[in-house]
Amino acid sequence: MELIRGIHNILPRHHGCVLTIGNFDGVHRGHGEVISALVQKAKQLGVPATVMTFEPQPQELFCGDSAPARLSLLRDKIMLLDELGVERLLCVNFNHKFASMAAEDFIEQLLVKQLGVKYLVVGDDFCFGKQRVGNFQMLKAAGEKFGFAVVSTQSFMLADKRVSSTEIRALLAKGNLEQARRLLGHPVTLSGKVAHGDKIGRTLGFPTANIALKRKVSPVRGVFAVKLFWDGSDIYDGVANVGYRPTVNGQHCQLEVHLFDFNDDLYGKTVEVELVAKIRDEQPFKSLDALKQQIKNDADRAMALLGFDAG
């Protein structure tokens, strides 16, 4: 899959495509249905199946810390979209300048002139352009004028049900990983680079890998049984905490993973952490000794859930 970073990197050879536009947060099974139809249409028309997405996601620009929790980082989206057969991913820098582009310019300059769209799939609630005046009906009218078909994502339902990122966020907030996994169509994972932490876990006898979440809001909080891996590695079992660590006055939401029977150095590695089962919500403890005992209990519970053989 070819990644085009920014509309300024669209080249003449990128003219001609079938296109879908959206956040594709989580790249869930509903998205999979849309992409599958797009790939099929691309083959019929002999042009690349192309996805346009945004970094940051629009609500992250407009709402900041009150934006919806993000299910997937760009790196995650790239991997998942590639697996679905997308040939080109146009990642638009969503800033105030882009948001203030006239809706007519979005259509005529970007979709028609630069991308040469032959077939477009968007949500029927999709809005775009300055003051969000562009909508599905405007795209339909433009399609008739410029000669491209416009189809609503409503046409691609999963068992007569609309799977949404909002619904998946709600399931994750409740700790319902199993149902979230079903709607995603893939495991619930958090990815990031292992960085140096404050080493408190080490003093408690439970050294942890500290992983920056790189999100304004985390989609999950609490303690989980997890599996951790990186490119080309084995899969390691562990227990993880996602949260603010109230017992030690943590200021930022972060992911900490303690791996069982693991002593190697992970610093600087980009890892994937699969959340297998939720053990409990995050809570403050009156002392580090109480916290240490709870971590031991959590580790025992995680081992049982994962079928880990400590022998």
CATH number reported for the structural domain that contains residue 65 in this entry? 3.40.50.620
**Does the global pTM surpass 0.75?**
yes
CA 11, CA 103: separation in Å to the nearest integer? 22
In a domain, 217, yes or no: yes
- Looking at 165, 196, 214, which one is the last position of a domain? 165
In a domain, 171, yes or no: no
Residue 6 and residue 133 in one domain = yes
Q: How many independent structural domains does the chain possess?
A: 2
In a domain, 155, yes or no: yes
In a domain, 181, yes or no: no
Residue 130 and residue 206 in one domain = no
Residue 160 and residue 80 in one domain = yes
- CATH number of the domain to which 218 belongs: 2.40.30.30
Q: Which of the 8 DSSP states describes residue 107?
A: I
- Provide the pLDDT for residue 240: 96
Q: Which residues of the chain, if any, have pLDDT below 50?
A: 247-248
- Domain span including residue 139: 2-165
- Provide the pLDDT for residue 283: 87
Residue 242 and residue 101 in one domain = no
In a domain, 278, yes or no: yes
In a domain, 260, yes or no: yes
- Provide the pLDDT for residue 8: 96
Residue 143 and residue 270 in one domain = no
CA 98, CA 110: separation in Å to the nearest integer? 11
- Provide the pLDDT for residue 247: 47
- Provide the pLDDT for residue 40: 96
CA 258, CA 276: separation in Å to the nearest integer? 14
Between the CA atoms of 9, 11, 15 and 21, what dihedral angle is there, to the nearest 10 degrees? -10
In a domain, 170, yes or no: no
The residues facing 242 across adjacent strands are: 222, 255
**214-229 pLDDT per residue, tens:** 887 899 999 999 999 9
- Provide the pLDDT for residue 309: 77
Residue 69 and residue 214 in one domain = no
